[in-house]
């Protein structure tokens, strides 16, 4: 069997939990500040506007094409070139610059502008999303993320225990927030494709965490005399090769999509690549330490219950 790590690794991951907690807290704080001050660059799917896909006879620099569109009175347009397509690009016009919500008129103005610098222009696709629909998509997208995490909380609570569910949700929240923070920092467009990638990250990160938790449950049954800290360390080490193999092979595929998949799939691949990296980190350095912290919390409740007659802990309510 191919291995990336020695068979009997014995790394004390939980001894690094305080350092990792500080690092994660710093990155999460930076994410919150980025969202507060820079915000997200919402794509047309969410912000509203017109999307025009065109094919030009001549390949021209994006800066020249952007200036030609600006010269016909369209401000704030973003241009995205399809890599290797030979003159095919997407032009996104914000809702405020779309001709009274008339996508056809906007497309005609874009075609006229590009004709002056790129020769013949073929309009291949025109789409318009109104601001109200964009707001609705934004809200439903957020609801989809929250509902999926709530369902995961219920599922893991039933399959394992509440402390494991809290650990898994902490890891998922960590992954999603850091990925969103990367988009805020780079000001990459947030589209429906990116939302689909975020939901995929939830599934990937959860799978990695569940595998570790399943091994923890097995080891608790086999190693009854070991402390939970030692069992968590043992379980993470036993699953380390599987975790790294899964992450690396996934990243190889995603890197190929990122480099050669073209502009349309570029942001989807970027989101998944970033999510796989932080998801691998969180399954080891976020989920397991949170489970250990919850165990300490429950132990303190039991001690308080023993000291206080009539006290009922939250685990018994």
- What's the pLDDT tens digit per position in 63-96? 888 888 888 888 777 787 765 556 778 888 876 6
CA distance 253 to 262: 14
pTM: 0.79
Give yes or no for residue 128 having a pLDDT over 70. yes
Give yes or no for residue 98 having a pLDDT over 90. no
- What's the pLDDT tens digit per position in 296-310? 887 887 777 777 765
pLDDT of residue 294: 87
Positive/negative CA dihedral, 44, 45, 50, 51: positive
The CA–CA distances, whole Å, from 8 to 106, 165, 205, 214, 236 equal 64, 28, 25, 19, 12
Q: Measured at the alpha carbon of residue 248, what is the angle toward residues 242 and 250, in degrees to the nearest 5?
A: 100
Confidence of residue 42 (pLDDT cuts 50, 70, 90): confident
pLDDT of residue 95: 67
Indicate the domain borders of the chain: 13-41+134-307, 49-129
- What's the pLDDT tens digit per position in 1-27? 566 666 777 888 888 889 999 999 999
pLDDT of residue 317: 46
Give yes or no for residue 279 having a pLDDT over 60. yes
Give the percent of the chain with pLDDT over 90.
Answer: 20
Tokens 């190693």, residue located: 223
- Residue 194: partners with Cβ closer than 8 Å, 6 or more residues away: 43, 183, 188, 267, 268, 271
More confident residue, 47 or 158: 158
| Residue 188: half-sphere exposure toward Cβ, Cα within 13 Å | 19
Q: For the residues of the chain, what is the DSSP string, one character each?
A: ---SS-TT----GGGGHHHHHHHHHHHHHHHHHHHHHT--EE-HHHH-EEEEEEEESS---HHHHHHHHHHTT--S-EEEE-TTSSSEEEEEEEGGGSGGG-HHHHHHHHHHHHHHHHSSEEEEEEEEE-HHHHHHHHHHHHHHHHHHHHHHHHHHHHHS-HHHHHHHHHHHHHHHHHHHHHHHHHT-EE-HHHHHHHHHHHHHHHHHHHHHHHHHHHHHHH-TTS-HHHHHHHHHHHTHHHHHHHHHHHHHHHHHHHHHS-HHHHHHHHHHHHHHHHHHHHHHHTHHHHHHHHHHHHHHHHHHHHHSTT---TTT-
Q: Which CATH superfamily is domain 13-41+134-307 in?
A: Multidrug efflux transporter AcrB transmembrane domain (1.20.1640.10)
Determine the average pLDDT of the residues in 52-62: 81
- CATH number among 3.40.50.620, 3.30.930.10, 3.30.70.3220, 1.20.1280.290, domain 49-129: 3.30.70.3220
| Beta carbons of 167 and 152 less than 8 angstroms apart | no
Give yes or no for residue 207 having a pLDDT over 50. yes
Is-same-fold flag (13-41+134-307; 49-129)?
Answer: no
Give yes or no for residue 211 having a pLDDT over 50. yes
């Amino acid at each position: 069997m191919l291995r990336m790590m020695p068979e009997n690794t014995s790394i004390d991951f939980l001894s690094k939990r305080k350092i990792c907690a500080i690092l994660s807290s710093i990155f999460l704080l930076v994410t919150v500040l980025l969202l507060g001050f820079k915000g997200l660059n919402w794509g047309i799917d969410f912000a509203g506007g017109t999307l025009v896909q065109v094919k030009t006879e001549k390949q021209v620099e994006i800066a020249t094409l952007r200036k030609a569109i600006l010269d016909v009175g369209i401000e704030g347009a973003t241009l995205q070139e399809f890599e290797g397509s030979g003159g095919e690009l997407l032009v996104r016009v914000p809702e405020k610059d779309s001709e009274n919500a008339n996508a056809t008129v906007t497309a005609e103005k874009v075609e006229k502008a590009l004709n002056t610098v790129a020769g013949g222009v073929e309009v291949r696709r025109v789409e318009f999303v109104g601001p109200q629909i964009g707001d609705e998509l934004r809200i439903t997208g957020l609801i989809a993320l929250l509902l999926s995490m709530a369902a995961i909380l219920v599922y893991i609570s039933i399959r394992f225990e509440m402390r494991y569910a809290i650990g898994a949700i902490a890891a998922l929240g960590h992954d999603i927030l850091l990925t969103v923070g990367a988009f805020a920092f780079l000001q990459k467009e947030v589209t429906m494709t990116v939302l689909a990638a975020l939901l995929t990250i939830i599934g990937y990160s959860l799978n990695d965490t569940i595998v570790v938790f399943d091994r923890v449950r097995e080891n608790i049954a086999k190693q009854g005399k070991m402390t939970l800290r030692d069992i968590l360390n043992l379980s993470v080490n036993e699953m380390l090769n599987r975790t790294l193999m899964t992450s690396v092979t996934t990243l190889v595929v995603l890197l190929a999509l990122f480099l050669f998949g073209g502009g349309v799939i570029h942001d989807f691949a970027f989101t998944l690549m970033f999510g796989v990296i932080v998801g691998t980190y969180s399954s080891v350095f976020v989920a397991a330490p949170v489970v250990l912290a919850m165990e300490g919390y429950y132990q303190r409740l039991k001690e308080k219950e023993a000291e206080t007659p009539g006290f009922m802990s939250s685990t018994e309510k």
